[in-house]
Amino acid sequence: MKRFITNSFYFIALAGLALSFNACVSGNQKQQKSVEENIVGTAGPNDEMMEEFAKSKLIFYSLPSPLETAMLIKRSGASFNEELLNPLENIDKYTTNKKMALNLGVYSADLSYTSLFDQTQSSIKYMANAKRLADGLGILDAIDESTIHQLEENMNNRDVILDIISETFMSSNAYLTENNRPALAAMVLVGGWVEGLYLATKLSNGSLENNKKLIDRIIYQKLSLITVINLLEEYKEEEDVASVLAQMNQLQVIFEQVKIVNTSKVEVETDAENKTTTLKADSETHISKDVFEKLLNKVDEIRTEFIS
Partner 1 sequence: MSRAYKAIISTVIAILLVAKVNGQCVAFAKESCKSKLETYVHDGNYHAATLSEGEGVELHKTFFEGQDYRLVICKAEKLPNIYFKVINELGRVVYDNSKENYKAIWDFNTSKTQELTVQIMVTEDSEKQVLSGCVAVMFGIKKMTD
Number of other residues whose CB lies within 10 A of the CB of residue 247:
18
56 lies in the site for partner 1, by CB under 8 A: yes
Residue 7 is given by DSSP the state S
HSE-CB for 211 with a 13 A CA cutoff? 19
User: Which listed residue (89, 92, 159, 209) binds partner 1 by CB under 8 A?
Assistant: 159
User: What is the pattern of x (binds partner 1, CB under 8 A) and - over residues 91-130?
Assistant: -------------------------x--------------
User: What is the pattern of x (binds partner 1, CB under 8 A) and - over residues 15-54?
Assistant: -xx-xxxxxxxxxxxx--x-xx--xxxxxxx---xx-xx-
The answer to whether 145 and 134 are in contact (CB under 8 A) is: no
The stretch among 14-22, 94-102, 194-202, 296-304 that binds partner 1 (CB under 8 A) is 14-22
User: Which listed residue (90, 97, 154, 227) binds partner 1 by CB under 8 A?
Assistant: 227
Amino acid at 229: I
Rounded Cα distance, 151 and 147, in Å: 6
Number of other residues whose CB lies within 10 A of the CB of residue 70:
28
Number of other residues whose CB lies within 10 A of the CB of residue 174:
16
User: Which listed residue (86, 119, 123, 173) binds partner 1 by CB under 8 A?
Assistant: 173
Shortest distance (Å) from residue 110 CB to partner 1: 14
252 lies in the site for partner 1, by CB under 8 A: no
Give the footprint of partner 1 on residues 206-225 (CB under 8 A): 213, 216-217, 220, 223-224
Backbone angles phi, psi at 268, to 5 degrees: -115, 120
